[in-house]
Each structure stands twice: as C-alpha cells, then as structure tokens.
Structure 1
Amino acid sequence: MSGEPTTTTEQSSRRASTPTDATSTFDRRAVLRTLASGGYALGVAGVLGVDDFLATDDDDPVEVVTALVREDPSDPFSLEERTREVPAGWYEAVSTALEVNDLLSRVGFTGYLGSAVVPGPYEDESAAVSVGVSTEDSSIPEMIREIGDGVSFDRETIVDVEGLEDGPDDLEPRLATPVDDPLTVERPLEVTPSGVACETSSSLATLGPALYDPERQRGYFATAEHAFEEVDDPIGESLRLPLENAEPLELGVVDRAYEAEDVALIEPTDGIAPSGAIHGTDQHRVRGQLTKFGVADLIARDERLEKVGAMTGHTTGQIQGIDAVTCFTDRFCRRGQIRWGGEMDLTDGDSGSVSYYPDPEGDPEDVLVAGFNNARTWWPGQSYVWGVAAYTLYDDHGYHF
C-alpha cells in the first residue's frame, strides 16, 4: 500500500564550540522578533534554540553524532554514539537550513505543500531547502529568506496530487520460509526475517526489522500503520506472516500505532521473536541506525540508501532530502521524513520496509537503518520514496532499531 503515505534529543553535537560572531547572532534574533511580532510564528524561540545561533570558528571542525550503534551486536540495548568531524561552515549551513525548513512548515504560507533540507557537498559548505508549492504565484515570505541567510530555496510547483497511480500488477510477494534466522545469535524462540510480506485482514505490506522500546526493554514487530486502513483504530488487530508451503504464522497484535509517522508496533505472540535481519539478495544484520546528521553526511558524500521490499525486492537510490515535511496527503502534516530513490523503488506492498546503509565499521553483513519506507510520489515533476526517519522515531518516541 505504498500509495498511502505516512510521519530525547536530536543526536548531533557541537563539541566545545564557542560564539565568535555576536553581531550575526543579534541580527538573526532581530529577524525572529519581527517574525513573531507579525504573527508568523508562535513560540519560535522554542523551535529555534539559542545554541543553534552560536557561530563557530570556520577553521575548527565540528564533531557530530552520525549513528547509534550496538556495542554488542546481540544486545539491541547496548547503543553507543558514533561521531564524525565535519567542516564548521557546512554544519552551520545545514543547521540553518533545518531551522528554516521547520519554520516554513509552521508558518504555512499560502500554497505551501511541503519541504525538505538538502545538504550540499562538504567542500561547498552549503545547504538548500526544497519547497513544494501548489500554485505558480506562491512565494516564500521575505522574512524567512532573511533568516535563511545563504540557504538557497529550490521551489517546485506540485500539481495533480489527487490522481493516485497503481503500481505494477505483475509482481509476486516475497514470502518467508519456515526456517530459523541465520543472523540471530539466540535461538530459544522462533524468529522471523524482515523484508518479506506480512498481511492484515485486508492488506499486504512489508515486515520491517525489530523495533525496540528501551523503556520496556523489549522488541516489537513493525510495519506500516496504513496496512490496517480497514479499521478506525488498529490497536488489537492481528498481523500474520504468509509462508512458503506452510500455513501463515500469527505474529501478534498491534500494541501501538502512529498515524502521522505511519508506523505500527506489533506485540509478538508467545514463542515468536522479531528479527534484526533483513533478507534480500544477501543477508543483512541491523547494527543500529543513522542520526539526522548521519543521513546529512551521506548526502554530502553522495552515498546511496538501499531497501528490500516484499514486492520490488532490493533497490538502491540517492538521498534527496532530510527532515522532509508533507502537507498535501492528509488532514495533517507529516514531519521528520527522509526522501530518497525514485517512484519505481516502491509499490503497493513495499510499505513497512526500511531504507538502510552498510555499516562502514561493522561486519560485512551489518547495516544501519535510515528510516521506514511508507509512500512514493505519483505526481509529475518529482520522483522519490518517502517515510519517517529512524531518528524521528527515536527523538519523538524513544524507539530504535
């Protein structure tokens, strides 16, 4: 059902940075006060933190957290931060673009349909905000441009968003086989892979890798919330795993559901455990997840994401934006998303799969999750897959892969 779209602290840090440009800080604050007094943004001070306006010495690199990785591969709760040094100018450009993008979505100017931040290459020390609008005469408020201060705006007109196109009708779902997961260390319970088909009473989706709740110290099956679209409230609805040459396996019932993020957590049936393995052309083991600046780093280095869906299988694609906001697909805006790949990388039945990147410091089969895949574009002029970022689920709800 990929045509139906989705939606603690940000894990980035500015280590030992100090303000060196009080004038630029004051000027941007003055612009914010003007915005607030004009009624453009309520509570803007809470949205754009003071620390985000502290300038750094352009000669000093900035250390950011790029991933949360398991110290012990068999212990999903042994997360530790992985860091990387990035150019200060690039960090400031991306940080400003993130602030402006958030403000854009909150101001909600006439014609605004969504936006995303696109970090530039490290050597350019730049970042852009891609803005989708509904009419040719829509314009970005001048005050927001002033806050941007060096951030470029890529404005695109979006039309005909109502006409949903069906995906290919000649694809067969990838089914799990009733065998143990080869990447699971402990085997007291029967386990299931991800990247294969799962089903509700009326829909087919893709089973994602295990999603963990540190507060409860337990793992859940996960898939797209819209796979349960036949009911108003999916809590208590069952999820099954169709098997090759065997009866479907009852995975459990929905314990928590998030409509905006388009994620459902399924409480495992006794005797069955969710898996951290992704079964595609190769076997992959989830070792952790990327942070916001971890994905930004991949964009700066022109790296690609991968996914394994139940229908289209394994595909790769370029990352097109972080912190994306989509406001034209439902009665609310969906925030904290990642855009990547193209519209052919996802079709009905692929929703619930995850995008991931090979762990450069792990074993050959280890990967880091970027986010869920919940929908694709179906209108002219744009082509990408979108879904809620792993860092959004972690920041907003505490869940992690």
Structure 2
Amino acid sequence: MYVNISFDRTGRTVFKHRDTGMSGERTERSGSRAAGLRNRLESGIDRREFLRTAASGGFALGLASVLGVDDFLAADDDEVTVVTAVVRSDPDDPFSLEERTRDVPAGWYEAVETALEVNELLARYAFTGYFGSAVVPGSYESESAAVSIGVSTEGSSIPEMVREVADGISINAETIVDIDNLEEGPDSTRPRLASSVDGGTAPSGVACETPSSMATLAPALYHPDGERSFFATAEHAFEAVSDPVGQETLLPVEGAESIELGTVERAHPVEDVAAIEPTGPLQPASWIDAPTTRRVRGQLTRYGIADLIARDEELEKVGALTGHTTGRIQGLDAVTCFTDEFCRRGQLRWGGEMDLTDGDSGSVSYHSDPEGDDEDVLVAGFNNARTWWPGQSYVWGVSAYTLTEEYGYHF
C-alpha cells in the first residue's frame, strides 16, 4: 500500500490512497520552520543560533550575513530565499565553491518543510511493515508537497502517529507489497568502455572493474580535507569481501589493457559509495562520457532538487550498461528499507526501473546547469539500484547533498 499525505499553503492536510483513490482532508495549521524561525528571531535568538537554524532549514547563509532578517526570509513577504546549488566559480578549481540561490513562494516552502518534517518522523519511528517514504514537492503554483509512504500490511498495522496525521481518514491496510518477487531488468548489453585516456584522466560514465564485479565509474569525488580527489563507484561492486578498503579498481580501455585506477580508501556501505585513492597513472576527472561530453560544475542541494520537481524538470544519467537515459524526479530525502536490515536515508528517486541494470551502479544523475556553459551539469545523486517490486518504477541512490552533509564530499 502506498499512502500520499499532502500539504497545501493553508496548512490543510490532504490524504490520498494510491490504490483505491480514497481521499479526504482535515484543516490544521501545519508546522512551519520559516514561521518558527521568524518567531524565534522576534523572541531574541542570537546570531549563532540563527545561522544554525537557517542552515538546517536550507536557507542561504551567505545572504543571511549581509541582508536584514526580513529581506533574507522573504523578498516581498511572499518569498523565501533558498540555496539551490553549490557551484565552482572557477570551472577548473573544484574547491572554488559558491552558493547559488533562488526566491521561492513562501507557501510552497512551508509545505515542503512540513513534508520533510513528517518524512523524518516516519523514518525515525520506522514501524513494522514500513518500507520507506519520500518527499514529493508540488508545483510552485499549487504551493503544496506530498509524502509518499510505502507500507506492507502483512502482520502489521498503520501506527497511530500516521493515523493522527491523517485524522478522520480511513486507511486501507490490506494491500501487500511483494518485494521478494524479483523481476528481470533490461537485457544485458556490451559494457561501455573508455575509448581513450588522453590527458591523464579517466572519464566517468564508463565501466570500471573490481576484483569481483563491474560497475560504472562516477565523476571525481572531492573532499576538502587536504583538497583531495577520489575515483568513486558503488560499494556493493566489491561484494566478494566484507570490507573493500584496500581493494584494487581498474579501468578497462577499448582495444587496450586495463589501467590501474587505485585502491579503495574509504567505504560507505549504507550510502553504497566507495572512494578510491588514485595510485595509478590516471587522475579523477569531472567529465562525463555522455553522447555530448558533459562537465560537472557543481551539485544540487535539497532545495535545488525540490525546485526541479516543482518545475517538472528531468534528470539524466550515463551508465556503463544502459548508457544515456532521462527521467522525471519521483522524490527526495527518500528513505529506503527494502534491501537490508537498516534503512538508507537521504535517497533520491527518479526515472524508471529500465534506466538502471547491473553494471550501471556508480553512475550519477545530473541536470544541465542553467547558468553555466552548454556542457556544464550539476550532479543530483549517485545511482545504486532500481525497483524490482510491482507497482513502483524508479532508480534510487544517495543524493549528492547527503554525501556532503554526512562526509563532506562534493562533486
């Protein structure tokens, strides 16, 4: 059963059951971080606490330090300034980062914030049968957002906390999601190999080899400590060992012998990311081997992805098996509890199940940079898996902003 809980600008909560179409609503003033922040400012919050609160809410800290509070919170009392991307002021310097901002409708922002809070509550108190959830912002015109909840009703019931959110709404808890019924993915094809390694760098979007598997090489992953750069791919590509640290990674090259990339220095199994220290003749690069070569200029934030959803924009990816595909974004800040005893948070859902197959893991999803050159793109997330259960169809993996928040990495 998949349940949608939606929030509009008035604070009205609208509940809709995806399977039956049942709907209902109740009126209640939704909790708002924006309103809460204003109230705390009026009550004498100090600057340090203000910045910390603003950061947790996704506000632009750069603007907060130079603009008055009223101007910062709302351009005309109906808008809020949010950070949508972190980009390089110098395309050749991955550490020349600066924030990019956008003014969004305050009602839309408040609806998204409410949905994020509900989603976090669900993840924090995950109940038996809870498979995951995701936030789905509505359009700017609707000033709404939704939380999509995946629930198996086998041996469980919807917890009281969900019933309280959907007060007075009948919830049909009979539908069972059978995630054990594995479906076939796309037909296997010949993997895309690097055609050349001119300039001493390795392109991304092509195959890389581990001692036990093959995956897709991601664009360079950077870390501010020592301004280091890493190769990166999916951690699960090292499935033959319990700890992939120290494992070697190779780059197959068309018509030539494979080239050493390096060894895994850091492994993050929950996020399914392996950071590989360069030890061979090649260095990581921020170029994606797409039909038209793309250059990574930065990455999208939580509200950058929310903005794309509000404007019905799509993401792209290049995998070693399925190549270049595009698809709509289906949810952000997603929680995925399908595959392990633990839940994966900060996930991004997009596209369809045919957009990813074995060997594509490690690719990134991205969107064209509207303010950059024609070749520039912004990374949204790191692709790790696809759905295989009936009724759902999307690619999922950790978002770029989660990797930054948790570990400091950026693309």
TM category (shorter chain) comes to 0.7 to 0.9
Task: Go from structure 1 to structure 2 and tell me whether the alpha carbon gap of 1:222 and 1:154 turns closer, same or farther (over 3 Å shift).
Answer: farther
Counterpart among 245, 248, 261 of residue 271 in structure 2: 261
Counterpart among 206, 219, 229 of residue 239 in structure 2: 229
SS in 1 for 2:241: coil
* 1:74 maps onto 2:84 in alignment: no
Structure 1 residues 259-289: Cα deviation after superposition (integer angstroms, max 9, x where no partner): 0000000000143200100001110000000
The answer to which structure, 1 or 2, has the higher relative contact order (CA under 8 A, 6+ apart) is 1
Structure 1 spans left out of the alignment, 5+ residues: 1-12, 23-45, 181-186
The residue correspondences of 1:16-165 to structure 2 (distance < 5 A) are 18-19=38-39, 59-135=77-153, 140-144=158-162, 146=164, 159-165=177-183
1:157 Cα deviation (Å)? 5.2
8 Å CA contact 1:239–1:251 kept in 2: the answer is yes
Counterpart among 364, 368, 382 of residue 358 in structure 1: 368
SS in 2 for 1:201: coil
1:139 Cα deviation (Å)? 5.3
Structure 1 residues 292-346: Cα deviation after superposition (integer angstroms, max 9, x where no partner): 0000000000000000000000000000000000112101000000000000000
Match of 1:343 in 2: 353
Q: TM-score, normalised by structure 2?
A: 0.80
Structure 1 residues 120-167: Cα deviation after superposition (integer angstroms, max 9, x where no partner): 001111111000001178654444565689xxx999956221233343
8 Å CA contact 2:231–2:277 kept in 1: the answer is yes
Q: What amino acid maps onto 1:243 in structure 2?
A: V
8 Å CA contact 1:129–1:154 kept in 2: the answer is no
Match of 1:193 in 2: 203
SS in 2 for 1:311: coil
Structure 1 residues 201-232: Cα deviation after superposition (integer angstroms, max 9, x where no partner): 12110000000011121100000000000101
Task: Go from structure 1 to structure 2 and tell me whether the alpha carbon gap of 1:148 and 1:127 turns closer, same or farther (over 3 Å shift).
Answer: farther
8 Å CA contact 2:134–2:334 kept in 1: the answer is yes
CA distance, structure 2, for counterparts of residue 241 and residue 191 of structure 1: 11
How many residues are aligned here? 354
Structure 2 spans left out of the alignment, 5+ residues: 1-32, 43-51, 59-69
8 Å CA contact 1:130–1:154 kept in 2: the answer is no
Q: What amino acid maps onto 2:115 in structure 1?
A: A
CA distance, structure 1, for counterparts of residue 266 and residue 80 of structure 2: 38
* 1:167 maps onto 2:185 in alignment: yes
8 Å CA contact 2:235–2:267 kept in 1: the answer is yes
SS in 1 for 2:191: coil
CA distance, structure 2, for counterparts of residue 147 and residue 361 of structure 1: 40
SS in 2 for 1:208: coil
Q: Percent identity of the aligned residues?
A: 69
1:168 Cα deviation (Å)? 3.2
8 Å CA contact 2:261–2:281 kept in 1: the answer is no
Task: Go from structure 1 to structure 2 and tell me whether the alpha carbon gap of 1:210 and 1:158 turns closer, same or farther (over 3 Å shift).
Answer: farther
Q: TM-score, normalised by structure 1?
A: 0.82
Match of 1:42 in 2: none
